Amino acid sequence: MSNLIPIGVKWVKRGPIPNDGTMGTVLSKIGPTYKGSVSFVEDAASAFNVMVEEQDDPIFQFFTKGAKKLAFSLPDWTPEVLQIVKGGEVVNGVWQEPDTVPVIEESYAVLTQTDVLMEFPRMGINAVLNGKLQKDAAGLTDVFGTPLMPAGAGVKPVMISKYLPPVLNAGNAQNITVDHANLLAVATAYRGDISTIAWTVDTKPAGAVVAFGTPAALGTTVTGLTIDGLYKLKVTVTDENGFTSSALVSVTVALA
């Protein structure tokens, strides 16, 4: 297994926590983030030593997890963005701060430039305005997130993985005696949805004019298989995060 080395940021996303307390699946980008502002830091665990009078060394030790914090800054004071991270209301295009500090909890995810995915099913959010109103500075919204214990059974506060391309199956090979076929691919994104689908011809007998009924759908008809031989048809899918997979299916034609 290759090393997972988190470098840079592709995006930060956030969205509602599902009712079952698992990781949110309907996430949208927040940002762009201010350069150099994104970090995820875990403090060292604290230890409690059980001491006795008869010796100087502890006879037992308890550990408590250190605090974890996601932090990033947004060069954006758009009222709708302020409402997301600070609460309050937007009235006639004007953000109005809340009377008290609100409880804001959402699912958050961060994808690095090296495709390391960090997921936080339940993140407590607070934010502060950082308005350096200078010609050589930008007013920022500094956002801080604390991973909280999710309500979902078996779901952990922090999950880290390698983001993978969609899992794709173009279907079983076919042997047919007619000039058309039905194709059905199955695709699953690592996270989110499949956003684009495209069927194309990879190889075909010379002279064959192949057409797809619905080339932008997983299920399609293919016609024009009028010449005996092997047709290799390719489906390519891209998920909402820009990751792509391709797969081939073979159709062998022997017209009756």
How many angstroms separate the CA atoms of 246 and 194, rounded?
A: 13
Strands 186-188 and 219-223: unpaired
Rounded to 5 degrees, φ, ψ at 18 are: -60, 160
Distance CA 143, CA 128 (A): 7
Which pTM value belongs to this model? 0.88
Segment 142-164 shows an average pLDDT of 97
Domain boundaries, the chain: 11-162, 167-253
User: For tokens 């409880």, what's the residue?
Assistant: 103
Report yes or no: 69 and 143 within 8 Å, Cβ to Cβ: no
- SS3 (DSSP) at 80: helix
Residue from 186, 171, 194 nearest 243 by CA: 194
List the structure tokens of 186.
């199955």
**147: Cα separation from own chain's centroid:** 17
State the pLDDT at residue 58. Answer: 94
d(CA 115, CA 221): 35
Q: What is the pLDDT of residue 1?
A: 63
pLDDT, mean of residues 140-163: 97
* Fold classification of 167-253 (topology level): Immunoglobulin-like (2.60.40)
**Local confidence band at 2 (pLDDT 50, 70, 90 cut-offs):** confident
Please state, in angstroms and rounded to a whole number, the distance separating the CA atoms of residues 39 and 72. Answer: 7
User: How do residues 190-239 score in pLDDT, each as one tens digit?
Assistant: 999 999 999 999 999 999 999 999 999 999 999 999 999 999 999 999 99
The H or E element spanning position 95 is: strand 94-96
Q: Is the pLDDT of residue 134 over 90?
A: no
Report the C-alpha gap between 138 and 154 in whole angstroms: 42
Token pair for 189: 């994104």
- pLDDT single digits (tens) 34-80: 999 999 999 999 999 999 999 999 999 999 999 999 999 999 999 99
pLDDT of residue 135: 84
Identify the three-state secondary structure at position 154: coil
pLDDT, mean of residues 154-165: 97
Cα 66 from chain centre? 26
Nearest to 234 by CA among 252, 255, 208, 212: 212
